[in-house]
Structure 1
Amino acid sequence: MGKIDMITIIIIAANVIISYKGFNDYGFFDKYKFQVGAVQRGEQIRIFSSGFLHADTAHLFFNMFSLYFFADVVIYQLSPMQFLLIYFGSLALGSLLSLYFHKDEYHYSAVGASGAVMGVIYSAILLQPGMSLYMFFIPIPIPAYIFGIGYLLYSIYGMKNRIGNIGHDAHFGGAIGGYIITLILSPWLFETNLLMIGLLAIPIVILFALKKAGKM
């Protein structure tokens, strides 16, 4: 990977600055986090603002670390404007899926850039399916699609067990957003990358199957 693109730097900086503001100002955090009741009352800004808040520094670091590795792949394979469309489209779809899953839970709330980041991850994997990651604790390269699918499967576990004040549902909405928007922008992928398109659909199908079966 070449030098990090300025758009990636700006988004990471915005997440860090706004998240740290939220860490130290509960009123600010409460005003802009995703909350079902507030969104239903018309506070749609929370659909986007919650994506720049995080539960703690570890949550922030993991999301920005993931974004750092995947964002520039999308920017250079597509364009900066198309990257922003994927980022903010995935963020919105992540929040909307959370709203769908929790529409009857007035006080349900969540924060994090996970939806946007998951959309970027899915987009990058579709565009560059052979890419690998080197993780600190694993001495061998991990195929990026294994990371992406594993991330979503962990999210199912997080949703079922209500782990933390983190929008696990948003991971799926984001993945769906990144998946669909990328395929719309790059329809040639159906000719060159049909296997990866199918593999990345698996955890999304599992989620909706579990939801339909009443197990989510």
Structure 2
Amino acid sequence: MATYIIIAITVVLSYMCFNNQDLFGKLAFAPYRTIKNNEWHRLITHGFIHADTTHLFVNMFTLWSFGTYIEEGFQFLGFGTIGYLGLYFGGMIVASLYDLIKRRNDPYYRSIGASGAISAVLFTSIFFNPFGKILLFAIIPIPGILFGPLYLVYCQYMNKKGGDNINHNAHFYGAVFGIIYPILLKPSLIYAFLSNF
């Protein structure tokens, strides 16, 4: 249920911001303003707005695909909805910390989208089901345990290359958080992960 609520709010706010630059400016992640003006809400609100319908659709489809599975798994493990929301919003915040520090003196830097949070959800699903299939380029099915490292290497490569207006740092750190978070909740899960091999 939480996944569907997050999707609904994200779709509504994203569409509102498509035609409202003032609202967009108030919700986007802007490290300079976050620190200088104590606008800490931006660490969360940026995840509810997107650049265009394609950006929104890809993120929400990925969230729906993996979020419902993880939300159900968290209920089964006793982590509940609070545990799931901790994964989603924790991933969103952790994914922003690198740029919060690096870009704190750049008044022009902006970042939007739920990609950090969704990377966290995706990588938690890999943690629970490492041999589950993930569609590479939405076409080629590969096991999550292979997709994960390739994705992390790709994020680092694209971050160094730059120039595509995608926050690859957020993807990377959100993904790392998604692997660590279940272990923080229940350290014995590391044995369940290793037993898959």
Structure-1-length-normalised TM-score: 0.78
Residue 24 of structure 2 is aligned with which of 18, 25, 29? 29
After superposition, where does 1:101-180 map in structure 2 within 5 Å?
Answer: 101-134=102-135, 138=139, 141-180=141-180
Instruction: Report the Cα distance in structure 1 between the residues aligned to 2:95 and 2:158, rounded to whole angstroms.
Output: 15
Deviation at 1:25, TM superposition (A): 0.7
Tell me which amino acid in the other structure corresponds to 1:46: R
Is 1:65 matched with 2:61? yes
Distance 1:151 1:59, change over 3 A: farther
- The more displaced of 186-195 and 37-46 is 186-195
Tell me which amino acid in the other structure corresponds to 1:111: I
Deviation at 1:136, TM superposition (A): 7.7
Is 1:12 matched with 2:7? yes
Residue 35 of structure 2 is aligned with which of 40, 58, 78? 40
Instruction: Report the Cα distance in structure 2 between the residues aligned to 1:134 and 1:172, rounded to whole angstroms.
Output: 18
Is the 8 Å Cα contact of residues 136 and 147 (structure 2) preserved in structure 1? no
Deviation at 1:48, TM superposition (A): 0.4
Q: Which string of whole-angstrom CA distances, capped at 9 and with x for unpartnered residues, describes residues 19-40 of structure 1? A: 1111111111111101121111
Tell me which residue corresponds to 2:78: none
**3-state DSSP of counterpart to 1:108:** coil
Structure 1 alignment gaps of length 5 or more: 1-5, 197-216
Q: Which string of whole-angstrom CA distances, capped at 9 and with x for unpartnered residues, describes residues 74-117 of structure 1? A: 11222222111100111111111221332343321110101100
RMSD (Å), alpha carbons:
2.2
- The more displaced of 31-40 and 176-185 is 176-185
Structure-2-length-normalised TM-score: 0.85
Structure 2 alignment gaps of length 5 or more: 76-80
Tell me which residue corresponds to 1:92: 93
Aligned sequence identity (%) = 38
Deviation at 1:72, TM superposition (A): 1.9
Is the 8 Å Cα contact of residues 130 and 143 (structure 1) preserved in structure 2? yes
